[in-house]
A and B are shown apart, each in its own frame.
Chain A
């Protein structure tokens, strides 16, 4: 995967800086690991003045408010200004009880465009994929979606982190997920994913 190395962003969970528009997979073991990652990612984005979005399946607004307050960030201000948005994962991913990669990709593209129009230096998004996708209509297109996200980010460089619960997805699915994410967050570090298959190749094999 190639990235625009001109614009570097801080991810929050590592000291290193990365080009904007990277696509990272985070397979977490427990809720603490999940919360730790998304809090760091969101706060570093807000501190950098980026437009930041978070898809969560739990009501985490209170947690976010408390964590923001510790750092002197007023949650309500960020939400009202549009710098931060919190959405329910189900409503975003599974609207009308189906998963449509095209709808999601359009949302992502629009999100980036809006951030540029609003004058943000960059945009980022972090969201948890729900295990319900296995049962929902269109759920089998998950890997296709993730591969297409990698493609989209080349032209719409939103720094994206996808979180997957190791308890909720079986081992085979997790291995497949690795193949469509160029980078991985593991043990506090971001590494190149040796299992990654370039999206063009992956989509061609479907």
Chain B
């Protein structure tokens, strides 16, 4: 570099262009480093004061109305983008004249720099906006994906549930039929021995155990089928005590009842409500490993709208099952009714899900309050029945004698044997069929022989064969008008709940004991 000395430094008065040009060029370079418009304007205005003949420099964003003859206006315009103007007040127009063109060029370059900065800033703003939009979209996608995962998990659970339901239904159906056989023969055996004998006691105990097995199977069937409850008006208090005491028998947990004496009648399926009570009481017992007392209360309650979510305003029976157990962590309470949700090792996670489903199908509501270390309370609300409960005869008929011919159709031989035994003891002639086609054959043959059946009992479900409904339809088409009773292990089958809608005169749930059969036959008589 050629280092300048004092003697060679250009004199701005002797060489009009060089020094000023140098200054203007340097200013242009520095302008790029200055951060804002304001700083740039200050810098330029101060720098241009060194131009010979310039007295004052000011910046204006807007055009000026008039300009003095000793002033000059230099526009900062490029590509029709206006970046304001510089107003130069001159002390000596002649001294300034040689530099005017340099300044015009300089102002053009300044406008270029300002325009570049403006465009760069716009790009940066767009970039920031784009990044914000991307971040927003990413969040939206993440949230949507999380929702989707939740829905997918729910769907998988539902599909699993359905699959298990189908499997459970199949197994439970077969198991139920086997239990029916055991049930029936235990019943017959207990009838054929002395009530004071030890054998009678053993048989009764076996019946109780069988009954529990039946309940378990019913729970599985209810869960797998999820069908309509067989509603009958009744007093909830009656099943509360029985089920609670039975569930807690042999445990270190006691139960205390506080059931209103004037409890309203409600419509419910005794078996299903029994399941619900069983589930709640068992859960309470498991939460109280060190023992204690479960309190069960029942009261009449008038609810306003929204007092309990999902329940309309009205009159309800409120049942509370209160334990003093470990309580449920707050973050888990919301999942408590989800299928397969369980905090118990080895638990199925179906008990409360089934209970929830049953209560909802009863047009009721179920809720829970719990806190760790403070125990749990389940609340059940059932709508008050429109019906008034009439007192039933003191004891259902213990004996029945009849005559006539009854056709029993079921795919399970053991159930056919049980039914035959029971009915023959009662005095009936019994024929059996294992499927609908066989039944129709027998019906037709007996009708033609002039000795038609008086009654038929058809199993609704015949795997691989004609079931009860189809058989009934065909039978009617054959002109055979005898009454037909529907029977099924699926207590929640709608045919069982309202048999008359399907052409049956009544229904009886499997497994049935002779008492139930007698009650049925008496009703039909």
Interface residue ranges, A against B (CB under 8 Å): 1-3, 5, 16, 18-19, 27-29, 166-167, 170-172, 174-176, 178, 184, 186-187, 190-195, 198
**Contact between A194 and B43, CB atoms less than 8 A apart:** no
- With A3-B3, A166-B35, A192-B4 in contact, do A174 and B43 touch (Cβ < 8 Å)? yes
Give Cα A181 to B314, complex, Å: 92
**11 new A-B contacts at CB < 8 Å, known A171-B40, A198-B6:** A3-B3, A5-B3, A28-B33, A166-B33, A166-B35, A174-B43, A175-B43, A175-B47, A192-B3, A192-B22, A194-B19
B34's partner among A166, A176, A190, A194 (CB-CB below 8 A) is A166
- Min C-beta distance of B124 to chain A, whole Å: 14
Contact A186 B39 (CB under 8 A): no
The answer to whether residues A167 and B26 also contact, given A194-B19, A198-B6 and a CB cut-off of 8 A, is no
Closest residue on chain B to residue A176 by CB atoms: B46
Chain B residue nearest to A193 (CB atoms) is B26
Cβ-closest chain B residue relative to A29: B33
- Count residues of chain B with CB under 8 A from any CB of chain A: 28
Q: Is the CB of B30 within 8 A of A27?
A: yes
Query: What are 14 A-B contacts with C-beta separation under 8 Å?
Result: A3-B3, A16-B1, A18-B1, A29-B33, A166-B30, A166-B35, A171-B39, A172-B43, A174-B30, A178-B26, A187-B29, A190-B1, A192-B4, A194-B20
B interface residues, Cβ below 8 angstroms from A: 1, 3-6, 19-20, 22-23, 25-26, 29-30, 32-35, 38-47, 50
**Bound-complex Cα distance A186 to B26 (A):** 9
Q: Which chain A positions have C-beta within 8 A of B5?
A: 2
Contacting B50 at CB < 8 Å: which of A2, A19, A195?
A: A195
Q: Are A172 and B33 in contact (CB under 8 A)?
A: no
Q: Is the CB of B45 within 8 A of A172?
A: yes
The verdict on A195 contacting B23 (CB below 8 Å), with A171-B34, A171-B43, A172-B42 known, is yes
Contacts of A195 in B (CB 8 A): 23, 26, 47, 50
B41 touches A171 (CB 8 A): yes
Q: Collect the chain A residues with CB atoms within 8 Å of residue B50's CB.
A: 195
- A29 and B32 alpha carbons, distance in the complex (Å): 8
Residues A27 and B33 in contact in the complex (CB < 8 Å), given A5-B3, A171-B41, A175-B47: yes
Q: How far is the CA of A161 from the CA of B3 in the complex (A)?
A: 18
User: Which 6 A/B pairs are nearest by Cβ-Cβ distance?
Assistant: A171-B43, A171-B42, A194-B22, A175-B46, A171-B39, A29-B33
CA gap between A198 and B5 in the complex, in Å: 11
Q: Given the complex, which residues of B lie within 8 Å of A29, measured CB to CB?
A: 32-33, 35
Contact A186 B30, beta carbon cutoff 8 Å: yes
Indicate if the CB atoms of A171 and B33 lie closer than 8 Å. Answer: no
B35 touches A167 (CB 8 A): yes
Minimal beta-carbon separation of B11 from chain A (angstroms)? 12
| Contact A171 to B26, CB < 8 A, known contacts A5-B3, A192-B4 | no
Given contacts A171-B43, A172-B46, A175-B47, whether A194 and B26 have CB atoms under 8 Å apart is yes
Nearest CB on A from B270, distance (A): 81
Q: Which residues of A contact B30 (CB under 8 A)?
A: 27, 166, 174, 178, 186
With A and B bound together, what is the CA distance between A39 and B278 in angstroms? 81
Residues of chain B with a CB closer than 8 A to A16's CB: 1
Q: Which residue of A lies closest to B1 (CB)?
A: A16
CB distance from B156 to the nearest CB of A (A): 53
Report the separation of the CA atoms of residues A182 and B29 in the bound assembly, to the nearest whole angstrom: 16
CB-CB < 8 A to B19: which residues of A?
194
Closest to B39 in A: A171
* Chain B residues in 8 Å Cβ range of A172: 42-43, 45-46
Q: Are A171 and B38 in contact (CB under 8 A)?
A: yes
Contacts of B33 in A (CB 8 A): 27-29, 166
Contacts of B47 in A (CB 8 A): 175, 178, 195
